[in-house]
Structure 1
Amino acid sequence: MSSESRIIARFSIPPELSDRRLDQAAAELMPEHSRSRLQGWIKSGALTVDGKTCKPRDKVMMGDVLLLDAEPEAQVSWEAEAISLDVVYEDEHLLVINKPAGLVVHPAAGHADGTLVNALLNYAPEVENLPRAGIVHRLDKDTSGIMVVARSLIAHTSLVDQLQTRTMGREYEAVIVGTITGGATVDAPIGRHPQERKKMAVVSSGKPAVTHYRLAERFAAHTHVRCTLESGRTHQIRVHMAHVKHPLVGDPQYGGRLRLPKGTTDELREALSAFHRQALHARKLTLEHPQTGETLSWEVPMPQDMVDLLAALRKHFSELNSNEF
């Protein structure tokens, strides 16, 4: 088997993972692989420490070098489905798509089929040999926008590395409740909600998470913002904006009850009441091509529901200002 078709990765143990179990450290460094698969590679000698075969429970120290050299195997068992995809860009290594709101990314309880993964297995069958069918980052079901999927082992390794080293750029459009006068940064760790396990929350025991947001357009009681991420935690933008008391419009988990601004017209009330998803759209993606090293960037327009929502907010704000004169 050629080296191009093998899973090859090399990591140096950072200070924060020193004195951890090998399988735990490997899981932190390679989150795209399951813990059981990593343990299997450790036991088989495919994953070594400084060239030596170890046990999963053996401790690693700062500076130790983890080397993975493994044969690929079928990583998924889901069925291919003929689901249409909005393909923005593709080559032998990458597939960039514009995901619509409402499409689940990964099969799970309650969503065994009809997902992006099922569509990918039909469109690019080779992804069945990649961890998580080539998906290296996710968008929530009701978040729309741009995503990149790996089509080769080279691309998978590169994209995971770019995400971990924060060199992959991602920009989002969001509509938040309340008004702001300028941008800011939310630096607050995110983990599972202590009481509601299906939700995430800002908790001291969570993983580091940083979200930058800036003002795009301000309305009477809402604001259009653009967000960029330094990390990629589950529900990160939704949790962070709710944490600073500016939840996303329509967010069913973190938005709370519908709040209508003073002087709301029937038209705006209808627009806000009818918006049943978080107003969040992945607008722009920038990355380094895994083979050529070229910097590539793509943008996708906001879907019509968010365009209509912004138009309703803009019209209401304009009418309020007109009535003042």
Structure 2
Amino acid sequence: MSNSIQASVLVPIHLGNKRLDKIAAELFPDFSRSRLQQWIVDGKLTVDGETRRIRDKMVGGENLELDVVLEAEGDWEAENIPLEVVYEDDDIVVINKPSGLVVHPAAGNYTGTLLNALLYHYPGIENVPRAGIVHRLDKDTTGLMVVAKTLQAQTQLVNQLQDRSMGREYEAVTMGVMTGGGIVEAPIARHPTSRTKMAVAPEGMGKEAITHYRVLKKFNAHTHIRCKLETGRTHQIRVHMSHIGYPLVGDQTYFGRFRLPKGISLHLRQELQTFQRQALHARELSLWHPTTDEYMTWDAELPEDFQKLLQSLSDEQSETYEDLDY
């Protein structure tokens, strides 16, 4: 995987009288405008062989030359951590993330993360920002993630996230019985007092957050749902479901005080008490391939603990119906 980028292009006359950074963004669409601006400042994107300012206007006919050697962003270590690869080619890799795996190093988790694993399995990815990671899943959320192997692929995938053309669907189990599906449109911001949590923000504050959800199955005191993200805020599904009164099973951050439904069997009681993570799985991922422009979709089966939880809820419901058959 090459870590150098060389490209040269003439500014067409019709783009004359525009700023250099705006013209560069049109002529080098594989890279973000902010990255191009930094390359202009660093002298890695020149005009007729000379360094120019971001806001300088072109007249047309100039030669823009890009000469960049990508460098690793951090000093993270590669670690031999197994990964379940669902799909892979020269541009992207799709991972089925297990529970307990942190995506990106941070305070308290500098090693043992998905990023460390990616550096081991794909050494060349160290020259891509954040080792190609374009979106995240919480530590205990399972399921599908896409990682870019090149800077160009990363730019395209980030654009899809921003224009909402990337599809991400999740399955979850909530406390309480929903009457039906719906849409939650509630902005999300950092919690005012707990910095590790997010919260629905007052009107006019926070970032736009939209979650579509539908009911897959109702149980005696729980609901199995499917969620589709229109936006991708931190902890979005967990915050939104808690906000409307249906927190996710096992979500110790947004559940509030742990409580069990009345009259449940000992088996279900033990299952709920031992399910020590939020019941959330990134089930389906869809995107436009950054190079071939092919629309691709992947599906990841529910993990064993999630299936076991659903089976226990189903067994409990069957037992209740049998009790009423007299």
Deviations 1:225-250 (A, max 9, x none): 00000111000000010110100000
Pairing partner for 2:89 from 88, 91, 106: 91
Deviations 1:79-102 (A, max 9, x none): 101111000000000100100000
Displacement over 4 Å in runs of 4+: 37-42, 45-48, 67-70
Contact 1:4 1:154 in 2 (8 A): no
Q: 1:246 maps to what in 2?
A: 246
The Cα shift of 1:256 comes to 1.5
Deviations 1:37-82 (A, max 9, x none): 888546436689xx97248xxxxxxxxxxx9967222223201011
What code does the residue aligned with 2:143 have? G
Counterparts of residues 165-314 of structure 1 (less than 5 Å): 165-204=163-202, 205-314=205-314
**TM-score scaled to structure 1, two decimals?**
0.82
CA distance in 2: counterparts of 1:68 and 1:176, whole angstroms:
54
The Cα shift of 1:6 comes to 6.2
Deviations 1:255-300 (A, max 9, x none): 1222222211000000000001000000010011111110111101
SS of the equivalent of 1:238 reads helix
Q: 1:125 maps to what in 2?
A: 123
Distance 1:262 1:128, change over 3 A: same
Q: Percent identity?
A: 57
The Cα shift of 1:322 comes to 1.6
The Cα shift of 1:323 comes to 1.2
Contact 1:248 1:278 in 2 (8 A): yes
CA distance in 2: counterparts of 1:97 and 1:242, whole angstroms:
28
Q: Provide the aligned C-alpha RMSD in A.
A: 2.9
CA distance in 2: counterparts of 1:68 and 1:186, whole angstroms:
47
Q: Does 1:81 align with 2:79?
A: yes
**TM-score scaled to structure 2, two decimals?**
0.82
Q: Which runs of 5+ in 2 are unaligned?
A: 9-20, 26-30, 56-63
Pairing partner for 1:137 from 135, 138, 155: 135
What code does the residue aligned with 2:315 have? K
Deviations 1:116-171 (A, max 9, x none): 01100000011101111100000000000011000012211110011000000001
What code does the residue aligned with 2:160 have? Q
Distance 1:6 1:237, change over 3 A: farther
Pairing partner for 1:163 from 161, 164, 181: 161
SS of the equivalent of 2:212 reads strand
CA distance in 1: counterparts of 2:3 and 2:102, whole angstroms:
34
CA distance in 1: counterparts of 2:258 and 2:152, whole angstroms:
46
CA distance in 2: counterparts of 1:118 and 1:261, whole angstroms:
41
Contact 2:216 2:224 in 1 (8 A): yes
Greater CA radius of gyration, 1 or 2? 2
Alignment size in residue pairs = 289
SS of the equivalent of 1:227 reads strand
Deviations 1:208-235 (A, max 9, x none): 0000000001000100000000111000
Q: Which runs of 5+ in 1 are unaligned?
A: 9-21, 27-31, 56-66
What code does the residue aligned with 1:121 have? L
What code does the residue aligned with 1:126 have? G
What code does the residue aligned with 1:136 have? V
CA distance in 2: counterparts of 1:99 and 1:7, whole angstroms:
36
CA distance in 2: counterparts of 1:46 and 1:146, whole angstroms:
36
The Cα shift of 1:3 comes to 11
Contact 2:4 2:67 in 1 (8 A): no
Distance 1:80 1:175, change over 3 A: same
Distance 1:193 1:47, change over 3 A: farther
Contact 1:7 1:68 in 2 (8 A): yes
